[in-house]
Amino acid sequence: MLCRIDQIPAEEIRTRKKEVVISADEIGGARFLAADVLEGLQRVDPASCALVISSPPYNIGKPYERKDERTYDEYLAWQRRVIETMLPALTENASVCWQVGTYVTDGELFPLDVPFIDIFRSLGFRLRNRIIWRYNFGYNADKRFSGRYETVLWFSRTDTYTFNLDPVRIPQIYPGKRHSASKGKKAGKPSGNPLGKNPSDYWEFSAIEDFRNNPVWDVPNVKANHPEHTEHPCQFPVELAERCVLALSKAGETVLDPFIGTGATAIAAVKHSRHAVGIDRHLPYIEIAEKRVAQFAEGDLPLRPLGKPVRRPQSTERVAQVPLEWRQDHTEFAPVSVGGEDGEG
């Protein structure tokens, strides 16, 4: 049975604005701290978090960053301090998934995973995967190729880390493939794993569908046309966090997100019977995160099922057809399907 959030006294949620605890018996519990990251991290219990999943601010002039006005070097020095301050909260064998994109200034690109790999390594972490998260919409550049991916850096503190492959296997493209005659005893037997294949280090989730299903910005003062909906999706899809949670932690453990934003990490954690701790200095985001976890506990939060393939349009669908006027003006266009899921430029 899923415990309902209304078992928590409403006044407890209302009065504890700076620190909100949502708990339930059979799903994990979530604890949210509205605080600056450096202060919030010091309030997390020592050696309590087995996994960190986070997307730090990118220092690219988003509304919540403007007052910081850090240079690139200052930004990296601050991030190093954040990671150092986070260390005491981690268990000995913890993993960290740091999801970053590219800082762009005057048309010049600074892929942030490059300096972050150095920062984590210098603090004793080992890089286990550099995962490409490919998404299907965003800013259409005209002076360079449009950016359509970010990365998730998965680090472990030691060689004794959790890695559960089975819960995150995905369907094979050719499940009917069989071993060839040269494979001895295996010849003729199915060559794949009945649970599916390794999802690899190239992840593709339908971010746009996730955002449609999770209208997190559809609240007063943060509308769907909020400026953060520009260069790249600011919040990552819950599915991305779920894959990390399932593969890199165990039920009952605690997952920390020091920049929780609208709560994807917390939803993924509680959905899979882990506990979540989330920090964000922006109270309205914490309130959205809180509401989404509560909605999840109520069974009211629409989520894309984990591992569902990204939808591609059929060539017969209108969105996949070359527009008639293009065909008339440019005879070189054959009437074939074009574009990705959203027919982006």
Ligand X SMILES: C[S@@+](CC[C@H](N)C(=O)[O-])C[C@H]1O[C@@H](n2cnc3c(N)ncnc32)[C@H](O)[C@@H]1O
Q: Determine the interface stretch with ligand X among 18-26, 43-51, 184-192, 273-281 (rule: CB under 6 A).
A: 273-281
Q: Is 55 in the site for ligand X (CB under 6 A)?
A: yes
- The amino acid at residue 305 is P
Stretch that binds ligand X, among 14-22, 103-111, 242-250, 258-266 (CB under 6 A): 258-266
* Residues between 102 and 141 that touch ligand X (CB under 6 A): none
Count Cα neighbours of 323 within 13 Å in the Cβ-side half-sphere: 4
Please select the residue that binds ligand X; options are 3, 23, 57, 104, rule is CB under 6 A: 57
> Closest distance between ligand X and the C-beta of residue 57, in Å?
4
Strand partners, 111: 102
C-beta of 139: minimal distance to ligand X in Å? 16
Instruction: Work out whether 234 is an interface residue with ligand X (CB under 6 A).
Output: yes
Which residues are within 8 A (CB) of 148 and not within 5 positions of it... i.e. 6 or more apart?
134, 135, 136, 138
Footprint (CB under 6 A) of ligand X, residues 1-40? 36-37
Contact mark string toward ligand X, 59..78, x via CB under 6 A:
-----x--------------
98 contacts ligand X (rule: CB under 6 A): no
Q: For residue 277, what are its two tokens?
A: 């701790």
277 scored as a contact of ligand X (CB under 6 A): no
* Cβ distance to ligand X smaller for residue 191 or 213: 213
Residue nearest to ligand X according to CB distances in the complex: 261
Look at strands 90-100 and 108-111 and give their pairing. Answer: unpaired
Tell me how far, at minimum, the Cβ of 345 lies from ligand X, in Å. Answer: 24
Q: Which stretch binds ligand X (CB under 6 A): 128-136, 164-172, 254-262, 327-335?
A: 254-262
Kindly tell me which of 29 and 258 has the beta carbon lying closer to ligand X.
258
- Touching ligand X, residues 192-231 (CB under 6 A): none
d(CA 169, CA 246): 10
The CB-of-98 to ligand X minimum distance in angstroms stands at: 11
Tell me how crowded residue 199 is: count the other CB atoms within 10 A of its CB.
16
- Site for ligand X (CB under 6 A): which residue of 97, 262, 274, 276? 262
Give the separation between CA 35 and CA 19, rounded to whole angstroms.
9
- Does 279 sit near ligand X (CB under 6 A)? yes
In angstroms, give the least distance from the CB of 175 to ligand X: 33
Number of chain positions touching ligand X (CB under 6 A)? 17
CA dist., res. 198 & res. 205, Å (int): 15
Q: How far is the CB of 279 from ligand X (least distance, A)?
A: 6
Cβ nearer to ligand X, comparing 197 with 282: 282
**Least distance from C-beta 42 to ligand X, angstroms?**
12
Q: What distance in Å separates the CA atoms of residue 188 and residue 196, rounded to the nearest whole number?
A: 18
* Of residues 14 and 66, the one with the C-beta less far from ligand X: 66
Residue 235 touching ligand X (CB under 6 A): yes
Residues that bind ligand X (CB under 6 A): 36-37, 55, 57, 64, 234-236, 259, 261-262, 264, 279-282, 285
